[in-house]
């Protein structure tokens, strides 16, 4: 079931490792099947760059296994909470990137420093309050931080990127990491006084 979609998840997992966006056993990826109430998700505890299609688990909206011989990701609650809250989201990528995670550890939101931050992500990337991984509290905190945008930082943990498709979620994640790098370098060059986009530019891009 869903052979092609499972293969695509495996491809994205390998892409993340190859491009320094995730490493080892960390991170997780999921894809919702609209109208079926099924979610494809990476398994818990395996090196993500070595996954095969057979490792991908299919769960229902309650997290019960529909298909697969692996245990679903420990963050399955996080993924399902996002899908319940966001009808516009069909794919979720949670990763431990370097620059964006540095902001998450410092608990500093990523402000809109270039127009891409608005066009791709939806505005300032907020930091979800800390909660232990895999908990319902973390899921609730991330859903709150994601409101109105497509990415969030997880305090002392990592990042989440979402999209209508797996391709869009990946685009958001790549953009988030690049913007985080630009912002941190700018903070060094300006002594912590990075100029942000003017409010009127933000409003125009948001269509307000």
By annotation, the residues acting in catalysis are 75
Kind and range of the H or E element at 194? Answer: none
* Mode of pairing for the β-strands spanning 65-67 and 28-33: unpaired
Kind and range of the H or E element at 150? Answer: none
User: For the CA atoms of the chain, what is the radius of gyration?
Assistant: 17
Question: Between the CA of residue 18 and those of 3, 12, 13, 98, what are the distances in Å?
Answer: 23, 10, 9, 14
Cα 112 from Cα 195, distance rounded (Å): 10
* Mode of pairing for the β-strands spanning 151-154 and 38-41: unpaired
Nearest-10 Cα torsion for 96, 82, 107, 205: 100
Cα 28 from Cα 40, distance rounded (Å): 11
């Amino acid at each position: 079931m869903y052979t092609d979609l499972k293969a695509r998840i495996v491809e994205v997992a390998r892409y993340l490792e190859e491009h320094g966006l995730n490493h080892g056993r960390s991170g997780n990826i999921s894809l919702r099947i609209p109208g079926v109430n099924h979610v494809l998700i990476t398994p818990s505890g395996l090196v993500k760059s070595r996954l095969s299609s057979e490792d991908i688990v299919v769960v229902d909206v309650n997290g019960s296994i529909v298909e697969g011989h692996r245990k679903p990701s420990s963050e399955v609650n996080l993924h399902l909470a996002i899908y319940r809250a966001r009808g516009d989201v069909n794919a979720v990528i949670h990763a431990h990137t370097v620059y964006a995670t540095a902001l998450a550890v410092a608990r500093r939101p990523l402000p809109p420093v270039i127009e891409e931050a608005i066009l791709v992500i939806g505005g300032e990337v907020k930091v979800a309050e800390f909660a232990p991984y895999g908990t319902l509290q973390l899921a609730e905190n991330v859903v709150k931080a994601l409101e109105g945008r497509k990415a969030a930082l997880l305090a002392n943990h990592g990042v989440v990127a979402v999209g209508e498709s797996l391709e869009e979620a990946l685009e958001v994640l790549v953009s988030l990491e690049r913007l985080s790098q630009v912002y941190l370098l700018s903070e060094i060059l300006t002594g912590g006084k990075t100029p942000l986009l003017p409010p009127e530019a933000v409003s125009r891009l948001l269509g307000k």
